[in-house]
Amino acid sequence: MSHRTAAWLAWSLCAGCFALIGLALVLDFLTGEVPLRPELRGLRPGLGFAVLTGVLSLAFPTVGALIVSRLPTNPIGWLFCGMGLLYGAGRFTGAYADYALLENFAFPGGEYVAWLTMCTWFASLTLGVFLILLFPEGQLPSRRWRIVAWAAIFGAALVTLGFAFMPENLILTHPYVENPFGVVGVVGGFTTYDLFGASRFVGMTLLLTSNLAALLSPILRLHHARGNERHQLRWFLFAAVPLTVFLGLIELDLLISILTHDFMPQAVDILQSRQLLTPALIAEALAPLVVPIFTYIAILKYRLYDTDVVINRTLVYGSLSAILVALYFGGIVVLQRLFVLLTGQQSTLAVVASTLLIAALFTPLRRRIQSFIDRRFHRKKYDARKTLEIFWARLREETDLDAVSDDLVGVVRETMQPAHVSLWLRPETVSKKGGQTD
């Protein structure tokens, strides 16, 4: 895949995620209250929380597309895009199932879409484990970590298999819906309840273990990292640690629930006490969404993946476009009202004047926005340019060769920061100078 094709595909996935989240929020708004048992109502936050999480989730595909645009061969960017796509698809299918089953029965396949929503939940967990394992180079720390990766894959496959065909309600996402693909029977002397119960218990155990073990990967990388790489990993850990903790709590609760529900029915079902974990559930819903935000901070502040040029241009021209569009339409409205007051009718001169104003403001406004972005987010580049401008102004007025030599050495040392800098002047001709840095 070429660099251009990869970037186009990544940004297309990003646009698809925006569309899925938008459609999901519309369906959430159109759907009434979901009928749940009192102990499960905490699992469905209100519309405001849905809007918040939906907007925050868009950081996944955006950061992923930025990374792919710069490094298409690094899997981290594709993992961000994949997580954003799975999250958006899960939100859309879940909202569609609620709307089709509760509001508009003309929409087909509500039960099957609800079943698909539950299955995609575990796939997103697997991508989260791989993101923590591979960050930031896109490679495992060593071959031994393949055990953790394969444990996550097998765990997700087994637990998905168990929940997908267990003959019961879709307790994870739509508890009021009966599983349309539930299988009832006996295989080799064991009932399907026993087989699928064992499958999801073993799978959830592997998934929980791999999730906790994966956190050791960035911690070990942080121990050996130096300089900017250490700061990049530290920002990522600010999100990875709470993500692992809260996600581990939910997975542990689900594991205990599977154990009591499938193998010890005489015990108290942990699902009946899950309202006690409502704060943890809310934190677990928010924790994954801060991962791309902290990654973006590492990209912007410590030049992770060297995407600062892409981000710089995006910020500059995005802000410039928004300001120019606002000035253009605002100018048309103001000038049209002015013409109406003066002449009693509208005039096309308002459009012409606004267009000329935009053309005149484009270059100076772009320079000011570029300077502001460099000053706020690319301070070293901004300081280096300012130092060179000051040196150039002094060079045009300075006549003392020794002073110019000292200034030149100081400027090179301050802007380029070499290990050593020295200046050599040819003795026979004062006007010809040579320099050497290393």
> Which tens digit of pLDDT belongs to each residue from 224-244?
777 777 877 888 888 888 878
Q: Is the pLDDT of residue 76 over 50?
A: yes
| pLDDT reported for residue 425 | 67
Q: Is the pLDDT of residue 273 over 50?
A: no
Q: Is the pLDDT of residue 271 over 50?
A: no
| pLDDT reported for residue 368 | 81
Among 37-51, 239-253, 286-300, 330-344, which stretch is predicted with the lowest mean pLDDT? 37-51
Q: Is the pLDDT of residue 37 over 90?
A: no
| pLDDT reported for residue 310 | 58
Q: Are the beta carbons of 333 and 340 closer than 8 angstroms? A: no
Q: What percent of the chain has pLDDT above 70?
A: 70
Contacts of 302 by beta carbon, 8 Å cutoff, 6+ apart: 228, 231, 232, 235
Distance from C-alpha of 340 to C-alpha of 104, rounded to nearest angstrom: 49
**How much is the average pLDDT of 400-428?**
64
> Which tens digit of pLDDT belongs to each residue from 58-72?
888 988 888 888 888
> Which tens digit of pLDDT belongs to each residue from 83-105?
899 999 998 998 899 888 888 88
* pTM score over 0.75: no
| pLDDT reported for residue 136 | 80
Binned at pLDDT 50, 70 and 90, residue 430 comes out as: very low
Per DSSP bridges, beta strands 174-178 and 190-191 are: unpaired
Distance from C-alpha of 313 to C-alpha of 319, rounded to nearest angstrom: 10
Q: Is the pLDDT of residue 267 over 50?
A: no
> Which tens digit of pLDDT belongs to each residue from 118-168?
888 888 888 888 988 888 888 888 888 899 999 999 999 999 998 888 888
Q: Is the pLDDT of residue 41 over 60?
A: no
CATH placement of domain 3-306: 1.20.1070
| pLDDT reported for residue 394 | 64
| pLDDT reported for residue 312 | 63
Q: Is the pLDDT of residue 181 over 50?
A: yes
Distance from C-alpha of 365 to C-alpha of 399, rounded to nearest angstrom: 36
Backbone angles phi, psi at 342, to 5 degrees: -85, -40
Q: Is the pLDDT of residue 342 over 90?
A: no
Q: Are the beta carbons of 31 and 103 closer than 8 angstroms? A: yes
Distance from C-alpha of 390 to C-alpha of 405, rounded to nearest angstrom: 15
Number of other residues whose CB lies within 10 A of the CB of residue 323: 15
Q: What percent of the chain has pLDDT above 90?
A: 9
Q: Is the pLDDT of residue 324 over 70?
A: yes
> Which tens digit of pLDDT belongs to each residue from 49-60?
778 888 888 888
Number of other residues whose CB lies within 10 A of the CB of residue 156: 23
Q: At what angle do helices 110-134 and 228-262 cross, to 10 degrees?
A: 140
Backbone angles phi, psi at 2, to 5 degrees: -75, 165
Binned at pLDDT 50, 70 and 90, residue 260 comes out as: confident
Q: Are the beta carbons of 341 and 335 closer than 8 angstroms? A: no
Q: Is the pLDDT of residue 219 over 80?
A: yes
The larger pLDDT score, comparing residue 370 to residue 208, is at 208
The larger pLDDT score, comparing residue 428 to residue 408, is at 408
Mean pLDDT for the chain overall: 76
For the chain, the structural domain boundaries read 3-306, 307-377
Q: Is the pLDDT of residue 195 over 70?
A: yes
